[in-house]
Structure 1
Amino acid sequence: MRFKIRKGVESSSEQSVVMFRIRRSFLSLFQASDDEEVFTPECVQRDDEDKHKTIYRRRFGMNPDVMRLQRAESSSGQSSSDYGEVFTPECVQRDDQEKHKTIYRFVCSHAGQFQCSLTSLVFVMEDEGEVLYNTVSWDSGLGQVQPAGPLYNIECSAGSVSHLHFQHCVIFSEENKDCLAVAHVTGGNVEIIQPLRVTETHVIIDIRDLSIFGLIWIKKKLGFPIKGQVLLFLRPVTVKQKILNVHLLPGNVPVSEVQRWHLDKKYIETSSKCQLFPKKQYSLCCQPEDCEVQPVSEMFELDPFGPNYHPTFEVFLDVNIEEIRLGVLETRDGKEVWKTRRILLTVAPSKGVEPPVQRRIPETEFVKTNRDKLIQRVSSVMAIADSLMSQDMINSEMYSKVRAADTREEKMRHLLDALDSGGAAVKAEFCRLLKEKEHHLVNELGPHL
């Protein structure tokens, strides 16, 4: 007799109904031994079936081995670039947080596999739940552990995360596929977790509880290149000079984390991928050649995983220079690792078109247009209110109403009322503070603010 399993999970409980011809690969899971329960199935017939056809049914809780096998089959059948549904998290800040620290928030409504568009973290969810995660510093007394990626503090109150996928920067091959593990930090203790599987892009682990996780190297010496990236930030210095900051970073450093530390600079988006050797010296190739570059060469270190992201090189430019050509070379042999390309430092307006600065959204319009969304989504209400109060931009009565409100939404309603009373200057300062504390929200609601 041949059997085949058809599995389904009832929405009202964690039980499943299995109507089966048992598939041969699962047969051993249902065979009875001396210490296993023998069951008598319910015999049922469908309305359209003849008298000789009977379906055997058993209702039971899903066997953990079956669940693990299903997840393993799903994982092994998935390509390295296909990680289910991609989402962009909400970026929130708690009232006591400094301006550089942001918490990512993902509200999941159903089971599945979900990849964060900002950090490339993948969460395998067994049920709905809210996931909060943020980067933390590696320098927390972790001994000789060598970081291979950002360190994440991950929380999920519902406990519905079953697996985590961490993006790595290894150029995948048989030689280096076993060079990574995951450090799990709890209460000052470090547990080293061996991966279930390593794909071309991610390291996959299963988890029992959430806290702090990060990729680590388990090979002391790395004799192979890694996936790198070149990030550019432009900052004005004087009316005559500007500086282009050039960052050489591992490819699994989230761009959003670097941007957060350089809010006062303009991020210049360009094709950034390259391959870099740890401990090798690199130099910049820059045209025009009279641009000053410092330092002349620099060693690429494989440990810049935050919280600070300092530039590898600085290029000093005349303020009127609108375009340069830039490349990255290995200092010793002159080999290009990031091919020379055009970098536009400004976007000149077309003839007859207003400059972007004149088409920016006024702060008064931004506050009025986005009132409902600001009430629902601004998390740093008290921090903004405190700053406005310290500058005498809202009076003590208005501030007291904000402070006394029970919910964050009510606090924000009172604060917006205070902005309406204060006029354009107060709204401008509110928008400046909001960009400083929750710039991802401002970029989403008013990119031209």
Structure 2
Amino acid sequence: MAEAGISSCDLEVLACPICLDVLKDPVTLNCGHSYCMSCIAAYFDQDDQKRVYSCPLCRQTFSPRPVSGKNIMMADGVANLKRIEQHATVKQCSEDAEVFTPEYIEMDREGKRTNTYRFVSPHAGQFQCSLTNLVFVMEDKGEILYKIMPWDPRLLCGLGQMQPAGPLYNIECFEGSISQMHLPHCEILTEENKDSLAVTHFTCDNVEMLQALKVTSTHVIIGIKELSLFGLIKTIIFPDYSVQSQVLLFLRPTSIRQREKILDVHLLPLTIPVSEVQSQHKENTYFKTTSTCNLVHGREYTLCCQPEGFEVQPQGHVFECNFGSNYHPTFEVFMDVETEEFKLGVMDIFEEKEVWRTRRIILRAPSSNTDTADLRMITEFVDNHRQELIARVTSVMPVADGLRGKHMMPPEMYSGIDNARSRQTKMRLLFDVLDSGGPAVKAEFYRLIKDTEPCLVRDLESGC
């Protein structure tokens, strides 16, 4: 029997045209188009004054407002495909790997903020991080702290014609031991390059080349004795090598006086965690894409925008496997401030073919209608009362649901909050979202807790 799998076509069919993510609580309008329940509700909310509602895709109008009932059959299809996807992903690494969502924390060391992932292994076994796809083989229970570090070119000195083939990880383990790790890669392996991958282990001034126990289509498996810096590298024999890649979209917030919207478009290797890129777009709205593409290192790409009239500014349209700490947009797209949707694709200039299929992008960015002075006061309120809010807010999930409904929280961070055991832990994770989201997200958080817990906000504002 053939192994069950899930294709990008399957995911795109079951993707919400508004958030571009796999449908969550899908609802189907009378015209036949389906959306996430929260996405279409937020879309219709903006048409309440007109009392005439339209489908974002086909523009068919409805009056009165359609009742958003859950499409049970489609929801079952989404759940089934997700089970297939999770099983296939885990099986590529190990039959026994448990998938976990790590705690995302910021640590202040010597005046510098570092984004760190934390996972507490409850027992011996194999565990796969849902954000980075790292797999840890644990001999006992223990706590793991890991983060992505910038690649210093000096680290590769003396290694010949080698270059990074994945992020550089700094890994620490407490009260337990790691016997193996599976480092994710995004190389498209062929007979010619199947032996090109290697793992380097950096300790102080020493560099150790680790022998791979096995190389799968997604991971390089190594045995380890001590921890510090680990990085995946490869031999450069064929310069035109292909890697599995992702397209990330970030819409900058617009002000009342602004006459154009700006969309940042990143072309990045698939092994770069989205959370790392999001930390550099703290005030921008992230639109998740639902499929990957294969891109060739060193080749030129361009964007296809429909209808015409959009201004595309290349910021470095030659695709390079950037595994550093600064992820600059590959393109900037400028459009009229009234633009709510358009079509976007990625074209290979050399082969004159589309490598990322043109799809409809629906933009609903939060506008900065809040006065600058009020926004500053709200931000200061949230920052100054951090400890009190963590200790006293009881309606954590309703607030998280509100932020998720406004597309101000990525699915993986929402999942981490939902899975956290204690209310205080949920609030600490929620503050990670607020810190990475910037003033606009903090303003929405303030509005939500003012609605759900007015007495608490009144007490804090009055100094009680």
State whether TM-score is above 0.5.
Answer: yes
Partners of 1:92 and 1:438 within 8 A in 2: no
Distance 2:431 2:92 in 1: 43
Determine which of 295, 317, 320 is the counterpart of 1:298: 317
Distance 1:287 1:83 in 2: 46
5 Å-filtered alignment, 1:181-220, equals 181-220=198-237
Distance 1:149 1:257 in 2: 14
Partners of 2:105 and 2:115 within 8 A in 1: yes
Secondary structure class of the residue paired with 2:230: strand
TM-score (norm 1): 0.61
Q: Deviations over 1:147-198 (max 9, x none)?
A: 1111000001235100010110012333322111111111022212121101
Determine which of 91, 95, 103 is the counterpart of 2:116: 103
Paired position in structure 1 for 2:137: 124
2:175 is equivalent to residue 158 of structure 1: yes
Partners of 1:136 and 1:153 within 8 A in 2: yes
5 Å-filtered alignment, 1:87-102, equals 87-96=100-109, 101-102=114-115
Paired position in structure 2 for 1:327: 345
5 Å-filtered alignment, 1:49-128, equals 79-80=92-93, 82=95, 84-96=97-109, 101-128=114-141
CA-CA distance at 1:200 after TM superposition: 1.1
Distance 1:330 1:141 in 2: 33
Distance 1:227 1:105 in 2: 27
Q: How many pairs does the alignment contain?
A: 303
CA-CA distance at 1:433 after TM superposition: 9.1
The code of the aligned residue for 2:326 comes to N
Distance 2:111 2:432 in 1: 12
- Looking at secondary structure, tell me which structure has more helix per residue: 2
Identity %: 51
Unpaired stretches in structure 2, ≥5 consecutive residues = 1-89, 367-380, 395-423, 450-464
Paired position in structure 2 for 1:241: 260
Unpaired stretches in structure 1, ≥5 consecutive residues = 1-76, 349-361, 375-411, 417-430
Secondary structure class of the residue paired with 1:141: helix
CA separation of 1:272 and 1:100: change in aligned 2, threshold 3 A: farther
Paired position in structure 2 for 1:354: none
Distance 2:95 2:392 in 1: 36
Determine which of 328, 336, 339 is the counterpart of 2:357: 339
2:241 is equivalent to residue 255 of structure 1: no
Distance 1:291 1:437 in 2: 29
Paired position in structure 1 for 2:391: 371
Distance 2:317 2:260 in 1: 23
CA separation of 1:161 and 1:338: change in aligned 2, threshold 3 A: same
Distance 2:432 2:240 in 1: 46
Paired position in structure 2 for 1:436: 435
Secondary structure class of the residue paired with 2:175: coil
Distance 1:188 1:373 in 2: 47
CA-CA distance at 1:96 after TM superposition: 3.2
The code of the aligned residue for 2:435 comes to E
Partners of 2:105 and 2:432 within 8 A in 1: no
CA separation of 1:81 and 1:293: change in aligned 2, threshold 3 A: farther
Q: Deviations over 1:255-281 (max 9, x none)?
A: 111111111111111224000011111
Secondary structure class of the residue paired with 1:190: strand
Partners of 2:100 and 2:127 within 8 A in 1: yes
Partners of 1:159 and 1:209 within 8 A in 2: no
CA-CA distance at 1:296 after TM superposition: 8.9
Secondary structure class of the residue paired with 2:114: coil
Determine which of 139, 143, 156 is the counterpart of 2:152: 139
CA-CA distance at 1:438 after TM superposition: 9.4
Give the number of the structure with larger relative contact order, counting CA–CA contacts within 8 Å between residues 6 or more apart.
Answer: 2
Distance 1:266 1:86 in 2: 27
Paired position in structure 1 for 2:331: 313
Distance 2:135 2:354 in 1: 33
The code of the aligned residue for 1:184 comes to H
* Bigger Cα Rg: 1
Paired position in structure 1 for 2:191: 174
CA separation of 1:121 and 1:274: change in aligned 2, threshold 3 A: same
Partners of 1:99 and 1:437 within 8 A in 2: no
